[in-house]
Amino acid sequence: MSDTHETLILASKSAARRAMLENAGVPFEVRVAGVDEDAVKAASRDLDAAALAVRLAEAKALAVSRDDEAAWVLGSDQTLSFDGGLVSKAPTLEAARDRLKAMRGRTHHLHSGAALAIKGQVVWSGVDTVEMRMRDFSDAFLDAYLDAEGASLLACVGSYRLEGLGSQLFEAVEGDYFTVLGLPLWPVLAELRRAGVLAA
């Protein structure tokens, strides 16, 4: 394994992504990418939600890789599609409440994209999609949920964290749990092994 392959940088401030890599025993550093996500979205209007997740992940990986060409950089992002449209993070708890009311009893899809870059070039990218079916929860439960979770929900694209109380919003999830948390972990680990960043 050459020196250029020894460092992995996670270009994300997501605590969930950090925890996934730490729990999997992957050594890495964190360096948040200064990417204007709104600008990337505006320039990617021709893409569907899954492809947009990859585009955002690539932008984050490249932003950090161009500053540190000796390291492997992992970028990741997540998008949510519902009712034929793209859903962004709620700006307020009231907006989160309205969104969750609209999604209850219905199905939406989460897309987690990832990209690996080195020397300012994306060398791998991928995406995984999970189908999420919310139960028809009561207004009383929704209000209690929002009170308990608070402003932390504004950092989540779906206004929920499945690893917390948000699990009670759902009746079924079809797909990989890690993808729900924001990273297609199995393909990422496979690519890190293939690249020599992790032992095979």
Residues forming the active site: 77
3-state secondary structure of 61: helix
Give the residue among 42, 45, 19, 18 at the shortest CA–CA distance from 30: 18
**Two tokens, residue 37:** 């996500």
* Contacts for 27 with CB less than 8 Å, ≥ 6 apart: 8
Q: Is 61 left (phi over 0), alpha (psi -120 to 50) or beta?
A: alpha
Q: Which residues are bridge partners to 75 per DSSP?
A: 115
Distances in Å between the Cα of 150 and the Cα atoms of 91, 132, 155, 159, 199 are: 12, 22, 11, 10, 41
- CA 135 to chain CA centroid, nearest Å: 23
Give the residue among 2, 1, 36, 37 at the shortest CA–CA distance from 157: 37
Cα dihedral 33, 63, 119, 5, rounded to 10, equals 10
